[in-house]
Amino acid sequence: MKFIHNIKEKVKIAFGELYNFDIDSKEVLINETRKEFDGSYTVVLFPFIKKAKTSPQELGVKLGEYLTDHLDFVSGFNVVKGFLNLEFEGSFWVEKLQSILSSDSYGNLPQKGEKVLVEFSSPNTNKPLHLGHIRNILLGWSTHKILEAAGYKTIKTQIINDRGIAVCKSMLSWQLFADGATPKTKGVKSDHFVGDYYVLFDKKLNEEYSKWQQKEEAIDVYNSSRKENEAKEIFFKRYKNTYFNEFSDLGKQAKAMLIKWERNDEKVRNLWTQMNDWCYEGFDATYKKIGVDFDILYYESDTYLLGKKSVEDGLSKGLFYKKEDESIWVDLEDSGMDQKILLRSDGTSVYMTQDIGTAQKRNEDHHCDKMIYVVGDEQEYHFSVLFEILKKLDEPYSDGLFHLSYGMVDLPTGKMKSREGTVVDADDLVADVIGEARVSAEERGDIVSFTESEKSELYRKIGLGALKYFILKVDPKKRMVFDPKESVDMQGQTGPYIQNAYVRIQSVLRKYQELKKDIKTENYNPEQIEADIIQKLVNYPNEVDIAAASYDPSRIATYGFELAKMYHKFYHDLRILTAENDLAMAFRIELSKCVSKVLAHSMDLLGIEMPERM
C-alpha cells in the first residue's frame, strides 16, 4: 500500500505549499470510498479546516486539483461535504493486477525475524474434545497461519493436562467398574471410552452421595453448616465438593490414587499411561480430521513441578513475600490486582507456579519473542496476573505475552452444561457437518465422475469449510451462539459460498486452457466492478497485517467473503470466455486467476481448503 503513503506525503506537501501549515503525514486519514460515491480512496478533510482557515469545500477542491496534478495515477476527484474522493486511472489498476499476478507469494509479508509461540487446544485427558475446544483449536490454528503470513516464525504447542484429580477419577472408575474392558472390546473411539468412565464416576459418586444424605452424619452437617432458610436440596448441591473431599469413599480412593501417582506407584502409572494413550489416540484422530497439528507438546506431568525455583529466586530478590505459615505470595496491588499465592504452605506448587515455569521452559527451548495463549475468557484474570509476575521477574519475552481470550460458545438453548448432557461433542459435530455436505452435494449431482474417495474428501472439505467459517467469522472476544442448523448452511455468508467462487474460477480456467491465447492486457480499461475487485485485492496484505497485529481471524473471514461476493457479481454481470473482445477476455482471465489465488490464500489462513470442483 505504498501509494497510500505517497498520497499522504503529497497531502502534507500540498498543505505546506497551498496553505502554509505543516502536519505529520500520519495525521492524514485515507479510507476506501463508500460505494455510493465516485472514487476509490477518500481523504478526510475535517481535521485540517481550522488550520487552513477555509471551508471544507474549498479545501477539497484545491487539494483535489493539487493531487490530480502531482500524482499521475489520480485521474480526477469530487468533494462531498468534508470528504475528498479521489478517482484513479484505469491503467493504475491494470498495473496493480499485473504485479499481483506475477508475485508467487502474494499475501505473505516480509519476514519480521521474530518467533512466536502459539498455545492452543490444551485438553484434559479425561474426556473427549467438545465444541468449546473446537473454537479454541480453530482460533489457535488460524492465528498461527496468519502470523506466519505476516512474517513471523511460529511454534504451535499445547499444554496437555494429563494429571490431577480429574484424570484419577476416570482411572479409578475404569479400575472399579470396567472389568478389563478396552476401546477395542467395546468398539468405542478410545477418547470417548475414557470419557465414558469419567461420566460413570460422577454417576456412581452421585449415588453414593444420595445415600449419604440419608445418614445422621449428613443431617448433622446440614444443620450446622446450612445458611439460614436454605433448603436441603440446595445445600447439598453446594456441598458436593466438600463431600467429595471429606466424606466420600470414592473421593478417598481417587485422592489416594493421586498420591500414589505422585509417588510413582508402578501399577497406577501403568494404568495412567494406558488411559492417557487412549485419549491421545482419540485426540489425534480428531486433530487429523480437522486438519491441525502441533510442533511440540508440553505435558503437565512434566511441568507441574516447574516454577518453584523462580518463586524462590523472586523471594530472595524481595519480589515476593512469605507468610508465617511458609506459603509464598506476590503482592500486585500496585498494578490494580490482588495478592496471589505462588507456593502452598507445604511447599507444593499451584497453577500459577506451573505456568511461570512452563513459560520459562518454553523460552529456554525456543527463545520466543512472543507467546500467545489461546484460552477462554474465564481465565482473563489468571493471565493478567501471570503476565505481571513474569514482568516482575524481568523475563526477556514478557513484553510479548498475549492472552488470546475468546468468549464461550452458547447453544440456542443456552449454555453448554456437561451435567445436563448438552455438551456438543467434537467428533459428532464434525461428522454432522460432513454428512450435511454430502446431502447438499448429492442434490446438485455435479460430481458423478468422482471416485468414492474423491467424494468423501470433497464432503470433508465442504463440511469443515462450513463449520470453520461459521466459527471463525465471529470476533474471538465475543461470546457466540452456535446454532447447529446454521453451522451447516452452505448459502450466503458461509465457507462453501467462498469455495464456490473459487470452483467457478477453476472451471473457467480449465476451459480457457483449451483456447490458449496470449494477449497483453496493459491497454485494457477496466469496468467499475473490475477496478473494485482489484482495489480489494490490493488491500489484502494490509488485512493480513491488521489481522496479525490484532490476533483476529474474523477479519480475514470477512475479507474472504467480501472478495467472493464481488467476484460472484462480476461473474454474473460480465462475460469472460465470451467477452466483447480478446483483450477483455484476457484481462478477465488474469483477474480471475488473481482472485482465486487470494481466495485460496485467505481461506488457508482459516484452515479452510479449496476444492477444484464441487
Contacts with RNA in 90-109 (CB under 7 A)? none
Number of residues that bind RNA (CB under 7 A): 91
Give min distance, CB of 199 to RNA, in A. 18
- Indicate the residue among 62 and 473 with the shorter CB distance to RNA: 473
Amino acid sitting at position 510: R
Site for RNA in 167-226 (CB under 7 A): none
Specify the pairing of strand 30-32 against strand 74-80.
Answer: unpaired
Q: Name the minimum Å distance from CB 184 to RNA.
A: 30
Single-letter code of the amino acid located at 166: A
Examine residue 569 and tell whether it contacts RNA (CB under 7 A): yes
- Regarding beta strands 30-32 and 339-343, do their DSSP bridges make them parallel or antiparallel, or are they unpaired? unpaired
Interface residue with RNA among 134, 275, 386, 576 (CB under 7 A) is: 576
- Return the residues of window 317-336 that contact RNA according to CB under 7 A: 323, 325, 327
Q: CA 341 to CA 329: how far, in whole Å?
A: 4
Using DSSP bridges, classify how beta strands 115-119 and 370-376 pair: parallel, antiparallel or unpaired: parallel
Which of left, alpha, beta for 516 (phi over 0: left; psi -120 to 50: alpha)?
left
Nearer to RNA, 215 or 478 (CB): 478
- 35, three cell numbers: 460505494
Calpha distance 341→285 (Å, rounded): 39
Q: Is 161 in the site for RNA (CB under 7 A)?
A: yes
Shortest gap between Cβ of 30 and RNA (angstroms)? 9
Give Cα separations from 371 to 22, 179, 359, 403, 502 (angstroms).
Answer: 41, 44, 8, 8, 34
CB of 214 to RNA, least distance (A): 26
In angstroms, what is the minimal distance from the CB of 444 to RNA? Answer: 5
Q: Does 515 bind RNA (CB under 7 A)?
A: no
Pattern 458-497, RNA, x by CB under 7 A: ----x----------xxx-xxxxx-x--x--xxxxxx-xx
Nearer to RNA, 355 or 427 (CB): 355
Residues 37-66 that bind RNA (CB under 7 A): 37, 39, 42, 44, 46-47
The reply to whether 455 sits near RNA by the rule CB under 7 A is no
Nearer to RNA, 426 or 614 (CB): 614
Of residues 430 through 449, those in contact with RNA by CB under 7 A are: 437, 440-441, 444, 446
CA-to-CA dists, residue 157 to 31, 162, 299, 362, angstroms: 38, 15, 10, 10
Comparing CB distances to RNA, the nearer of 182 and 321 is: 321
- Contact with RNA (CB under 7 A) among 81, 227, 263, 419: 81
Residue closest to 157 by CA, chosen among 125, 120, 124, 115:
120
Among 13, 80, 178, 181, binds RNA (CB under 7 A): 80
Q: What is the CA radius of gyration of the chain?
A: 30
Instruction: Identify which range of 7-15, 113-121, 357-365, 371-379 contacts RNA by CB under 7 A.
Output: 371-379
Q: Can you name the residues that pair with 321 across neighbouring β-strands?
A: 329
d(CA 187, CA 178): 14
Nearest distance, CB of residue 41 and RNA, angstroms:
8
- Residue 554 binds RNA (CB under 7 A): yes
Q: Which residue has the cell 466424606?
A: 247
DSSP 91-144: HHHHHHHHHHHH-TTTTPPPP---EEEEE----BTTS--BHHHHHHHHHHHHHH
Residue number, 115 or 554, with CB nearest to RNA: 554
Closest approach of Cβ 31 to RNA, in Å? 4
Name residues contacting RNA, limited to 376-415 (CB under 7 A). 377-382, 408, 415
Minimum separation from the CB atom of position 556 to RNA (A): 11
- Write out the binding residues for RNA, residues 235-274 only, by CB under 7 A: 241
Whether residue 311 contacts residue 393, with contact meaning beta carbons closer than 8 Å, is answered with no
255 CB-near residues (< 8 Å, 6+ apart): 165, 168, 245
Of 33 and 136, the one with the shorter C-beta distance to RNA is 33
